[in-house]
């Protein structure tokens, strides 16, 4: 006897209700993104590590601490993707011609974080990106789609909050970086070690620090919003107007800077209002610098990603998430009773979730149907076999009827 092999730390199997919710979320996501003319794409799970060190940024946690990377046969350094945006930006950098490239994708992402509820080392995201053009409408639309999906999967408006901020243009960020450095330089003694190194290389990163002493210093730091150019302010105002026009509630949050290096202008995050340790359910923003960081081209883009596990965790356990409706158990006492296949054919033809079960003990067949939440049991026992009849019992309202095997029309009976 040997020990069971468990899943790798921070990974989990998705099964049963969790899998039903997962598929339900992905189906809604595909439907809604297709309606807005986004095209489905799948990119590889392994990428060159350089893609992320150049896009997400060397001194982010994701790249500096959390990457699963390995040297492939002494040749190139390859990693498991920690996010999808960089891969889509890579694709766009090579394939973009004109207009908008609108992508939707979903799948596993990998980050070597400390595992906790809602925080895994392999987790799954749904993700959309609109690459190629810059307009405030596009930013509004990408947030509208996010909000529509949250509604359509069944979340109530009071379950979450939309936070938005503007990080300004690349020029705004350069100006503001200097101002922020000036402020933080006065508090060098109290800054965390990571923030001290960032102060030299990339002071904006410090805004995202989770260190308590850093956070306190940041409370009174100058805010990026106060240093936006007129143009950046107008761009942001247009988006807010459209959100308001379309009844999408939001809160401005000047502390929202997002964890990645490549964001410019609009940044947003949907957070759950429920008491959860991990409250970020969907996050994104505009990244006009990103494609130029990984290629010679300069193409603007915006997108978001949502954690499927975190969304799933907010969905009620009481609803039915499968599309095929009634579950029917076709139960017979003897294998040979199944030889009248006209009933089987009806079952196969109809859109009914079904299972076939043979057991000499009728009581066991009923117990099985109850335990597995079947809505109907279709039964041929010894007596029914002799009289060429069949019982259909509705297990929800307990009503039961006897039919001739060659007369029953299943789809009429189980609506
Ligand atoms: P957090 O602040 O929770 O670490 P993040 O800013 O790192 O989130 P993003 O990189 O913006 O997250 O990813 C988008 C979404 O993916 C998050 O809003 C969250 O729902 C989900 N997500 C991110 N990391 C994890 C993880 N380790 N496990 C599960 N879901 C995750
Ligand atoms: Mg994170």
Q: Which residues of 207-223 are buried (b: 16+ CB within 10 A; e: fewer)?
A: bbbebeebeebbeebeb
Phi and psi torsions of 152, nearest 5°: -65, -25
Question: Average pLDDT of 99-128?
Answer: 97
- Residue 111: the pLDDT is 97
Ligand 1 atom nearest to 82, measured from its CA? 10
Judge contact between 344 and 338, C-beta under 8 A.
Answer: yes
Question: Average pLDDT of 5-31?
Answer: 97
Which strand (E) or helix (H) includes residue 129? strand 122-131
- Residue 113: the pLDDT is 95
Q: With 0.85 as the threshold, say if the pTM is over it.
A: yes
Q: Is the distance from the beta carbon of residue 271 to the nearest atom of ligand 1 less than 6 Å?
A: no
Sheet of strand 46-48: strand arrangement: 46-48, 76-80, 69-72
- Taking the C-alpha atoms of residue 280 and residue 119, their distance in angstroms, rounded to an integer, is 11
Between 63 and 257, the more confident residue is 63
Q: pLDDT-derived band of residue 296, with 50, 70 and 90 as boundaries?
A: very high
DSSP-assigned letters across all residues of 350-406 = TT-EEEEEE-S-HHHHHHHHHHTT-SEEEEE-HHHHHTTEEEEEETTT--EEEEETT
Instruction: Report CA(142)–ligand 2 centroid distance (Å).
Output: 21
Judge contact between 391 and 333, C-beta under 8 A.
Answer: no
- Residue 350: the pLDDT is 86
Q: Which ligand is nearest to the CA of 260?
A: 1
Q: For ligand 1, atom 25, name the residue with the nearest CA.
A: 119
Q: Other CB atoms closer than 10 Å to residue 106's CB: what's the count?
A: 22
Q: Is the distance from the beta carbon of residue 278 to the nearest atom of ligand 1 less than 6 Å?
A: yes
Q: How far apart are the first and last CA of the chain?
A: 50
Q: Is the distance from the beta carbon of residue 119 to the nearest atom of ligand 1 less than 6 Å?
A: yes
- Residue 277: the pLDDT is 81
Distances from the Cα of 147 to the Cαs of 17, 304, 308, in angstroms?
24, 11, 15
- Residue 259: the pLDDT is 61
Q: Which ligand is nearest to the CA of 86?
A: 1
Instruction: Report CA(97)–ligand 2 centroid distance (Å).
Output: 33
For 340-367, how does the pLDDT look when each residue is reduced to its tens digit (9 = 90+)?
778 999 999 988 889 999 999 999 999 9
State percent of the chain over pLDDT 90: 79
Average pLDDT, the chain: 93
For 150-188, how does the pLDDT look when each residue is reduced to its tens digit (9 = 90+)?
999 999 999 999 999 999 998 999 999 999 999 999 998
Q: Which ligand is nearest to the CA of 114?
A: 1
Q: Which residues contact 392 (CB under 8 A, 6 or more apart)?
A: 376, 377, 378, 379, 400, 401, 403, 408, 413, 414
Q: pLDDT-derived band of residue 275, with 50, 70 and 90 as boundaries?
A: confident
Q: pLDDT-derived band of residue 194, with 50, 70 and 90 as boundaries?
A: confident
Q: For ligand 1, atom 5, name the residue with the nearest CA.
A: 259
Question: Average pLDDT of 294-306?
Answer: 96
Distances from the Cα of 103 to the Cαs of 106, 117, 209, 296, in angstroms?
10, 30, 31, 21
- Residue 60: the pLDDT is 81
308 pLDDT more than 80: yes
Distances from the Cα of 293 to the Cαs of 133, 290, 388, 405, in angstroms?
17, 5, 74, 69
The DSSP code for 203 is: G
59 pLDDT more than 80: no
Q: pLDDT-derived band of residue 257, with 50, 70 and 90 as boundaries?
A: confident
Q: Which residues contact 211 (CB under 8 A, 6 or more apart)?
A: 192, 194, 195
Question: Average pLDDT of 295-306?
Answer: 97
- Residue 260: the pLDDT is 63
Q: Which of 205, 255, 306, 310 to mutate to test the pocket of ligand 1 (most atoms within 8 A of CB)?
A: 310
- Residue 326: the pLDDT is 76
User: Interhelix angle for 230-245 vs 136-152, to 10°?
Assistant: 30
Q: Is the distance from the beta carbon of residue 224 to the nearest atom of ligand 1 less than 6 Å?
A: no
325 pLDDT more than 90: no
Question: Average pLDDT of 195-221?
Answer: 88
- Taking the C-alpha atoms of residue 270 and residue 103, their distance in angstroms, rounded to an integer, is 20
Question: Average pLDDT of 44-69?
Answer: 91
Q: Which two tokens stand for residue 278?
A: 């991990």
Q: For ligand 1, atom 30, name the residue with the nearest CA.
A: 307
Judge contact between 130 and 301, C-beta under 8 A.
Answer: yes
- Taking the C-alpha atoms of residue 36 and residue 100, their distance in angstroms, rounded to an integer, is 12
Phi and psi torsions of 304, nearest 5°: -150, 165
Question: Average pLDDT of 134-147?
Answer: 98
Q: Is the distance from the beta carbon of residue 205 to the nearest atom of ligand 1 less than 6 Å?
A: no
- Residue 246: the pLDDT is 97
Ligand 1 atom nearest to 83, measured from its CA? 10
């Amino acid at each position: 006897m040997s020990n069971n092999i468990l899943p790798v730390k921070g990974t989990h199997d998705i099964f049963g209700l969790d899998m039903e919710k997962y598929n339900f979320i992905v189906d809604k996501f595909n439907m809604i993104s297709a309606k807005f003319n986004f095209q489905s794409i799948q990119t590889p799970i392994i990428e060159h590590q350089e893609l992320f060190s150049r896009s997400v940024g060397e001194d982010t946690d994701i790249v500096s601490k959390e990457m699963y990377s390995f040297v492939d046969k002494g040749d190139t350094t390859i990693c498991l993707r920690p996010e999808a945006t960089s891969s889509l930006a890579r694709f766009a950098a090579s394939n973009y011609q004109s207009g908008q490239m609108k992508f939707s994708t979903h799948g596993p992402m990998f980050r070597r974080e400390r595992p906790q509820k809602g925080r895994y080392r392999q987790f799954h995201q749904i993700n959309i990106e609109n690459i190629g053009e810059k307009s405030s409408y596009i930013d509004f639309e990408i947030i509208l789609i996010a909000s529509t999906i949250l509604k359509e999967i069944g979340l109530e408006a009071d379950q979450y909050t939309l936070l938005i901020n503007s990080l300004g243009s690349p020029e705004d960020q350069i100006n503001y970086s200097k101002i922020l450095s000036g402020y933080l330089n006065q508090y060098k003694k109290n800054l965390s070690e990571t923030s001290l190194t960032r102060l030299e290389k990339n002071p904006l990163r410090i805004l995202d620090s989770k260190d308590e002493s850093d956070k306190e210093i940041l409370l009174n730091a100058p805010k990026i919003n106060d240093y936006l150019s007129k143009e950046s302010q107008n761009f942001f105002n247009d988006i807010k107007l459209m959100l308001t026009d379309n009844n999408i509630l939001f809160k401005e949050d000047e502390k929202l800077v997002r964890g990645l290096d490549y964001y410019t202008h609009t940044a947003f995050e949907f957070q759950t209002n429920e008491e959860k340790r991990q409250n970020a359910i969907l996050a994104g923003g505009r990244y006009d610098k990103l494609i130029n960081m990984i290629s010679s081209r300069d193409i603007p883009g915006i997108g978001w990603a949502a954690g499927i596990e975190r969304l799933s965790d907010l969905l009620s356990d009481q609803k039915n998430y499968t599309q095929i409706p009634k579950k029917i158990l076709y139960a017979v006492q003897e294998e040979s009773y199944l030889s009248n296949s006209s009933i089987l054919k009806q079952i196969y033809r109809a859109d009914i979730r079904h299972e076939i079960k043979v057991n000499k003990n009728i009581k066991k067949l009923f117990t099985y149907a109850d335990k597995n939440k079947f809505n109907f049991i279709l039964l041929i026992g010894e007596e029914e076999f002799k009289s060429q009849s069949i019982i259909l019992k509705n297990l929800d309202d307990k009503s039961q009827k006897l039919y001739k095997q060659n007369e029953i029309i299943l789809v009429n009976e189980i609506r």
